Homo-oligomer: A and B are copies of this chain.
Amino acid sequence: MSPSLATPFAHIVDDDEAIRDALSWLFRTRKVESRAWPSAEDFLAAWQPDWRGCIVLDIRMREMSGLECFDALLERGNTLPVIFLTGHGDVPMAVGALKKGAFDFLEKPFDDNALVDVVIRALESNARRQANQETQANVAGLLAQLTPREQEVMQLVLVGKFNKVIADELNISMRTVEVHRSRVFEKMGVRSAVELAQLLAPGRD
């Protein structure tokens, strides 16, 4: 974990320069790094899948609206939490945004500290999610190292079948199953079928 991952970070997307500046200053005073974007288009053009932090998104902007920007991010598989800011309350809009996965929806005027608190909570909850996702990705990486045959054998091992049965179902000798099984354990970094099951447990096929 590099220090940059631990430092709170927020992307500010708002077409009002005064607000961008105010939020940047606000975040700085609370030790949250930030970067401000003058439009949804600029933000989307620069957006990278590996970005960290969260996104503070104004709803009403001149060209692309915050909601449209949010939809575009969803399509691109964005995983960063999004916090909406809006001047005029609109319940259906807020409900829709939250149901699509936005982290929060704040109505102006809002308490400055409340916004930062929300940002920090968003980052914390996302960090936990991210951690799980990364271990999942590691497992996927290990799985990718298995040959097709090894994966086949593994599936059958995972349902608790005997080598004898597996050999029968795949029409190969027991010895071959043993070899594959052993290679699977080795590549996955486990020492038994039970450990393998545990490793693959949380998100299984």
Query: What distance in Å separates the Cβ of A147 from its nearest Cβ neighbour in chain B?
Result: 21
Which of the candidate stretches A21-29, A65-73, A74-82, A97-105 sits at the interface with the other chain? A97-105
**Interface digits, A170-205 against B, CB 8 Å rule (1 contact, 0 not)?**
000000000000000000001111110110011010
Copies of this chain, tallied across the complex: 2
In the complex, chain B residues whose CB is within 8 Å of the CB of A104? 95, 99
A198 in complex: contacting residue of B98, B191, B197, CB < 8 Å:
B197
Within 8 Å CB of A198, what residues of B? 158-160, 197, 201, 204
Contact of A197 among B91, B98, B107, B197 (CB under 8 A): B197
Q: A89 interface residue, CB < 8 Å from B?
A: yes
Residues of A in contact with B (beta carbons under 8 Å apart): 86, 89-92, 94-95, 98-99, 104-107, 157-160, 190-195, 197-198, 201-202, 204
